[in-house]
A and B are shown apart, each in its own frame.
Chain A
Amino acid sequence: RKEVEQDPGPFNVPEGATVAFNCTYSNSASQSFFWYRQDCRKEPKLLMSVYSSGNEDGRFTAQLNRASQYISLLIRDSKLSDSATYLCVVKGDSGAGSYQLTFGKGTKLSVIP
């Protein structure tokens, strides 16, 4: 069974703090990686894709370590609006000739005033 593991949290951080989430995946043949964000009682939405060279989008930085099979998400200068659950998502060979997304269970972040 191909798994994606995340610390469920919750992470409670003050506004302005820097917070980092890690995610590990078991399938070494995984090909692509993502972070989705899910607000309370809402649907998941793509936050960012995670490329081999790492990538940054404003206050958000995503990194991939293929050798250790983990993905990280760093949020700098946390805002109240960053409070959400962050889902780590990995795409790899499902073993049935097709590629499927596997979702982690999510890490809950609460940013406190």
Chain B
Amino acid sequence: DVKVTQSSRYLVKRTGEKVFLECVQDMDHENMFWYRQDPGLGLRLIYFSYDVKMKEKGDIPEGYSVSREKKERFSLILESASTNQTSMYLCASSLMAGLWEKLFFGSGTQLSVL
């Protein structure tokens, strides 16, 4: 079974800190995604990547950057964390782009920025 692993389940950071959220998948999937999920707003796409060293902006990229140096790893970076970035962050991967691609999600990182 596909395993998508996020490095931390809970994270508490201070305003202005640089924050790294790590995600690793073990099934050689081409595509990786970062979403955030907030009550009443649902899942919103931050960034995605269809290949190593390749990235594309999603719906809400402001305040975030990403890195994909290896196929299995996709990192989300908050350059200077702010309180409005307190959220549940979900990483996902899929085998290949296509109309019926199935997303596999990690268990999420609940980030609190104080």
Contact = CB atoms under 8 A, between A and B. Distances in A.
Given A31-B99, A42-B107, A105 B41 contact: yes
A112 interface: no
B79 interface: no
Interface residues of B, number: 19
B108 A43 contact: yes
Interface string A13-43: 0000000000000000001100010000011
Interface string B40-66: 111111000000000010100000000
Chain A interface, >50% SS class: strand
A49 interface: yes
A43 B107 contact: yes
- Interface range on chain A (Cβ under 8 Å from partner): 10 to 19
B114 interface: no
* Interface of B: prevailing SS: loop
Interface of A: 31-32, 36, 42-46, 49, 87, 91, 98-101, 103-106
A99 B99 contact: yes
Given A31-B99, A49-B100, A99-B97, A43 B106 contact: yes
B99 A44 contact: no
A47 B113 CA distance: 33
Nearest to A85: B42
Nearest to B99: A32
B74 interface: no
Nearest to B9: A41
